[in-house]
């Protein structure tokens, strides 16, 4: 028996892979590595035609002489990551220093589900491995972002506990109703080494004032030591992480909150 959500709150999901680079691999900002990254994106240009580069800029602080004028800080600029997006704007790949990720953005109501995300990301990972020849996989990450919308009634405060099982107890007096909140939790994952970071906070409306929007961001990091050729082991590790994350997701809601997603229990077809 499995659960299907007719209205999944998910807006983005991605799987990230951190690798130990090939011994002769140069630094990320090296021209040769950059050329390889460009070539990798070119290999996938038919599927991901829109390409973007994220440049990170940072100031360095420099001391000034007493009574002297402050000096202009030196602006350091480096490429943080490269990304490529498909025509439908629903899938993307990103490459940073020794990291590769595959993203899935909800388009309309459709969310293809974790299995498709996993299979597609593993397929692209093989392509990444062929190009960059990393030694091994050192970390798997699973990220999900949900936006839960709760109808807003005029002049009626919203009780978080009616919808969410995660909350903070605050004495009603003298605190009263909240204007905003943000809860961050660091939790264990499916194994003692895994870490799950949960960020649950209010979104300030957007264009729709008829509902409260809550954003839940799940970041699961699983340290591993796996060969990139061992697809079976990687799949098993990802499935383990996902089952734990889904169990946490389900436990986060009260029965009333869970009904927002219109869950349906389905029986998988006999094999």
Partner 1 sequence: MLLASDLPPVRPMYANHAVVSYDAGRSGISSLTSGHPIGEVKVGPTKYLFRVPSRGYFLPAGPSSPGEFYVDCFSPDIVGRGATPSAAQKNWEEELHREFQRLYAMRDWEMDATDKRRWQRISEWIDVDLYRNTTPMVGREIGRINRMAAHKKIIQWVDGRRERFELSRVPGQFAAFTQGTWFEAEVERDGLTGSFRRILCAQKIDSLDALSLVSPDDNRLEYERTDHLPEATL
Q: Whose Cβ is closer to partner 1: residue 1's or residue 61's?
A: 61
Interface segment toward partner 1; rule CB under 8 A; list 6-14, 36-44, 186-194, 229-237: 6-14
Residues 164-183 vs partner 1: string with x where CB under 8 A?
A: ---xxxx-x---xxxxxxx-
Nearest-CA neighbor of 222 among 232, 235, 203, 205? 235
Interface segment toward partner 1; rule CB under 8 A; list 38-46, 128-136, 200-208, 231-239: 200-208
b/e sequence 68-102, b meaning 16+ C-beta within 10 Å: eeeeeeeeeeebebbbbbbeeebbbbbbbebbbbb
Q: Whose Cβ is closer to partner 1: residue 2's or residue 77's?
A: 77
Q: Which run of H or of E encompasses 160? A: helix 160-163
Q: For residue 75, state whether it binds partner 1 (rule: CB under 8 A).
A: no
Q: Whose Cβ is closer to partner 1: residue 105's or residue 234's?
A: 105
**What distance in Å separates the CA atoms of residue 223 and residue 122, rounded to the nearest whole number?**
17
- Contact, 11 vs 145, CB < 8 A? yes
Q: Whose Cβ is closer to partner 1: residue 107's or residue 229's?
A: 107
Q: What distances in angstroms separate CA 117 from CA 71, 144, 188, 258, one per listed residue?
A: 49, 11, 23, 23
Which residues of this protein are in contact with partner 1, per CB under 8 A?
A: 11-12, 14, 16, 18, 50, 52, 54, 80-81, 83, 85, 89-90, 92, 94, 96-97, 99, 101, 103, 105-109, 139, 141, 143, 145, 147, 152-161, 167-170, 172, 176-182, 184, 199, 202-209, 212, 215, 217, 219, 221
């Amino acid at each position: 028996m499995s659960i299907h959500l007719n209205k999944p709150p998910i807006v983005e999901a991605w799987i990230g892979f951190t690798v130990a680079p090939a011994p002769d691999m140069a630094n990320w900002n090296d021209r040769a590595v950059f050329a390889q990254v460009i070539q990798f994106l070119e290999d996938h240009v038919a599927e991901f035609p829109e390409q973007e580069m994220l440049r990170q800029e940072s100031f360095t602080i420099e001391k000034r002489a007493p009574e002297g004028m402050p000096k202009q800080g030196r602006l350091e600029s480096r490429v943080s990551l490269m990304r490529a997006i498909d025509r439908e704007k629903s899938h993307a790949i990103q490459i940073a220093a020794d990291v590769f990720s595959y993203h899935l953005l909800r388009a309309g109501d459709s969310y293809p589900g974790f299995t498709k995300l996993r299979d597609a990301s593993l397929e692209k990972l093989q392509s990444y491995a062929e190009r960059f020849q990393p030694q091994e996989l050192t970390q798997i990450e699973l990220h999900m972002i949900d936006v839960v919308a709760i109808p807003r009634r005029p002049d009626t405060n919203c009780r978080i506990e009616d919808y969410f099982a995660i909350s903070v107890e605050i004495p009603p007096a003298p605190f009263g109703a909240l204007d905003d909140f943000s809860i961050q939790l660091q939790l264990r994952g499916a194994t003692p080494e895994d870490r799950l970071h949960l960020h649950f906070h209010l979104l300030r409306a957007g264009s729709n004032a008829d509902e409260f929007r809550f954003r839940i961001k799940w970041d699961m990091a699983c340290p591993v030591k796996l060969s990139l050729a061992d697809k079976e082991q990687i799949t098993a590790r990802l499935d383990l992480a996902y089952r734990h994350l889904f169990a946490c997701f389900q436990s986060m809601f009260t029965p009333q909150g869970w009904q927002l997603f219109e869950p349906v229990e389905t029986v998988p077809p006999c094999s």
